[in-house]
């Protein structure tokens, strides 16, 4: 017997590569924003009072929480703020998924969900998406210990927005469990389930500043839901680490929120570039899902080239995209949307590689 036998062993989540010399690389592998944060953020950073770092930050993230609550039209006690949505989701899993019954989520989705289940010893059951990568609603109307749905989903980009009652039907059918809706990409064209928090006490909406607000490096995420859900999450948070959000994150987060016009513009540019990229790829025989996110999920024409070969060819040309050697994923690439110039370079590289 050794201490190693008793270690909480886990297989960790593998994030996309962050090259150290990222100036040489066209980085389309982690769904970051190609545009900088609002100039208001740079101003707030320049004005930041370094002396204030002596003091602990607000444990309840008060000023940023209140600014977010005002922005989204919810009460302060319906808002939880964390260190990126990964922190918010991990806290929600630990708080709400505490049942003998399995938590359910799709086979193809954000690959952190099963990792959190493993680390917290939560049992789970995966449900297959249909051939078009849509969620089969009836799979979520069975007994369960909780539900997690990314909408729009990743890495497929697909949004469940054709059926307006899709999320509501699942929430309504599961009053005994918490339904987490991960809306990391909703600003790029999804439909938010936020209005449902006034009607149901078992739905938690999770969002992030990492994508549409160009803040992946700052680590801000938040959740909105019934005040009892938020209270239980705070109880768990205060049982691990009270001061999760540092002072610069709180101040710069507020600055980002003060310039929604800038971000609406940046998001619109990404959406336009996404549609251009999808069209160019389809013209070359790729199958591309109807993405409502800041990435495309594309299968190259199998008779010409495999996704794996294309992934390596792009990498050799210093264009980083994401490829997974997993069932139902290995014939596709997930390509984040960069600037117009970056996506033109991608298409040019695809042409060169496919010419052989």
Q: CB within 8 A of 226, min separation 6: which ones? A: 78, 197, 200, 201, 202, 203
Please tell me the distance from the alpha carbon of residue 270 to that of residue 275, in angstroms, as a whole number: 9
The verdict on 190 binding ligand PMP (CB under 6 A) reads no
The verdict on 216 binding ligand PMP (CB under 6 A) reads yes
The verdict on 221 binding ligand PMP (CB under 6 A) reads yes
Site string for ligand PMP, 297-316 (x = CB under 6 A): --------------------
Smallest separation (angstroms) from ligand PMP to the CB of 293 = 8
- Binding-site member from 93, 97, 105, 110 for ligand PMP (CB under 6 A): 110
Please tell me the distance from the alpha carbon of residue 28 to that of residue 34, in angstroms, as a whole number: 9
Smallest separation (angstroms) from ligand PMP to the CB of 143 = 25
The verdict on 208 binding ligand PMP (CB under 6 A) reads yes
Smallest separation (angstroms) from ligand PMP to the CB of 18 = 12
- Binding-site member from 57, 84, 189, 338 for ligand PMP (CB under 6 A): 84
The verdict on 86 binding ligand PMP (CB under 6 A) reads yes
Which residues, numbered 310-349, are part of the site for ligand PMP (CB under 6 A)?
none
Whose Cβ is closer to ligand PMP: residue 280's or residue 295's? Answer: 295
Let me know: does 160 contact 138? Beta carbons within 8 Å: no
Whose Cβ is closer to ligand PMP: residue 86's or residue 280's? Answer: 86
Beta partners for residue 277, in sequence order: none
Smallest separation (angstroms) from ligand PMP to the CB of 216 = 5
Whose Cβ is closer to ligand PMP: residue 112's or residue 311's? Answer: 112
The verdict on 184 binding ligand PMP (CB under 6 A) reads yes
Quick one: which segment of 81-89, 139-147, 195-203, 338-346 binds ligand PMP (CB under 6 A)? 81-89
- Binding-site member from 60, 78, 139, 182 for ligand PMP (CB under 6 A): 182
The verdict on 210 binding ligand PMP (CB under 6 A) reads yes
Quick one: which segment of 58-66, 80-88, 133-141, 188-196 binds ligand PMP (CB under 6 A)? 80-88
Phi, psi values for residue 316, rounded to 5°: -60, -30
- Binding-site member from 28, 92, 150, 319 for ligand PMP (CB under 6 A): 150
Binders of ligand PMP: how many residues, by CB under 6 A? 12
Whose Cβ is closer to ligand PMP: residue 177's or residue 210's? Answer: 210
Which residues, numbered 12-71, are part of the site for ligand PMP (CB under 6 A)?
none
Whose Cβ is closer to ligand PMP: residue 274's or residue 349's? Answer: 274
- Contacts with ligand PMP, residue ranges (CB under 6 A): 84-86, 110, 150, 154, 182, 184, 208, 210, 216, 221
């Amino acid at each position: 017997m050794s201490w190693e036998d008793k270690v909480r062993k886990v297989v960790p989540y593998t994030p996309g590569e962050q090259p150290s010399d990222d100036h040489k690389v066209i980085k389309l592998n982690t769904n970051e924003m190609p545009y900088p944060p609002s100039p208001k953020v740079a101003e707030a950073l320049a004005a930041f009072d370094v002396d204030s770092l002596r003091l602990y930050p607000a444990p309840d993230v008060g000023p940023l929480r209140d600014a977010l609550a005002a922005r989204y039209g919810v009460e302060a006690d319906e808002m939880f703020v964390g260190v990126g949505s990964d922190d918010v989701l991990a806290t929600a899993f630990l708080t709400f998924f505490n049942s003998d019954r399995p938590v359910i989520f799709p086979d193809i989705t954000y690959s952190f969900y099963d990792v959190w289940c493993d680390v917290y010893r939560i049992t789970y059951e995966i449900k297959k998406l249909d051939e078009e990568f849509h969620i089969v609603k009836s799979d979520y109307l069975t007994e369960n210990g909780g539900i997690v749905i990314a909408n729009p989903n990743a890495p497929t980009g697909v949004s469940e927005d054709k059926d307006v009652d899709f999320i509501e039907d699942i929430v309504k059918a599961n009053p005994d469990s918490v339904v987490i809706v991960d809306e990391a990409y909703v600003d790029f064209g999804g439909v938010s389930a936020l209005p449902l928090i006034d009607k149901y006490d078992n739905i938690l909406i999770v969002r992030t500043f990492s994508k549409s607000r160009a803040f992946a490096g700052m680590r801000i995420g938040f959740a909105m839901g019934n005040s009892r859900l938020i209270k239980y999450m705070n109880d768990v948070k205060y049982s691990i680490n009270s001061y999760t959000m540092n002072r610069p994150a709180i101040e710069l987060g507020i600055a980002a929120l003060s310039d929604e016009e800038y971000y609406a513009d940046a998001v619109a540019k990404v959406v336009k570039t996404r549609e251009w990229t999808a069209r160019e790829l389809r013209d070359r025989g790729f199958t591309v899902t109807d993405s409502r996110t800041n990435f495309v999920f594309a299968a190259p024409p199998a008779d010409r080239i495999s996704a794996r070969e294309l992934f390596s060819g792009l990498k050799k040309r210093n264009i980083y995209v994401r490829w997974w050697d997993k069932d139902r994923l290995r014939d596709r690439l997930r390509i984040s949307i960069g600037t117009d110039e970056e996506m033109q370079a991608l298409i040019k590289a695809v042409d060169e590689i496919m010419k052989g």
